[in-house]
Amino acid sequence: MANSNAASKIYVCATAQNSVLAKADYELLTWVEITGIGSLGEKGKTTNILTYDTWDTTVVQKAKGQTDAGSPEMELARIPTDPGQNILRTAAAVGNNNNYAFKEVRADGAIGGVGTVIYNRGLVSGPKRPGGRNEDFDLEVFTLAFQQEEIVVDPTIVTGK
């Protein structure tokens, strides 16, 4: 069954995380929910494909190169008093080159269970303010520049009593 993004949540840790984290490390962090999220851009890794052509063949040789963990944009309805949004604003401040941890909890878990959890860590930039027309919301857009591969934890299954 396909699931929507409705009722999913994204959290941020207010403490900078400048080292690669494992699942167990993420589970020990203190999380603050970011509310008002309207859109989160494409996440996941993209690996460069290197090519090299030689005189003795008509087929280009290929190899995998560096992998980019992604830089999705997060669009949110601006709420000046939201603790999660304020962490993003602090993280995005000019001169703040620290990495911050993120936890996404999908709404695909069984009743009483936990949905898919996706952990990642990276830099934050922004916010951009798209402006808009008279009936548009006051929005801010942050870029999350992830620095390591995401860790995906499948939803928990609740067993019978």
Burial class, 85, CB count within 10 angstroms (exposed 0-12 / middle 13-18 / buried 19+) = buried
Distance of alpha carbon 79 from alpha carbon 60, whole angstroms = 52
Work out the pLDDT band at 159, boundaries 50, 70, 90: low
**136 Cβ partners below 8 Å, 6+ apart?**
130
The pTM (predicted TM-score) of the whole model is 0.89
Q: What is the DSSP letter of 155?
A: P
Q: Is the pLDDT of residue 138 over 80?
A: yes
Q: Is the pLDDT of residue 39 over 80?
A: yes
Q: What angle do CA 24, 83, 35 make, to 5 degrees?
A: 85
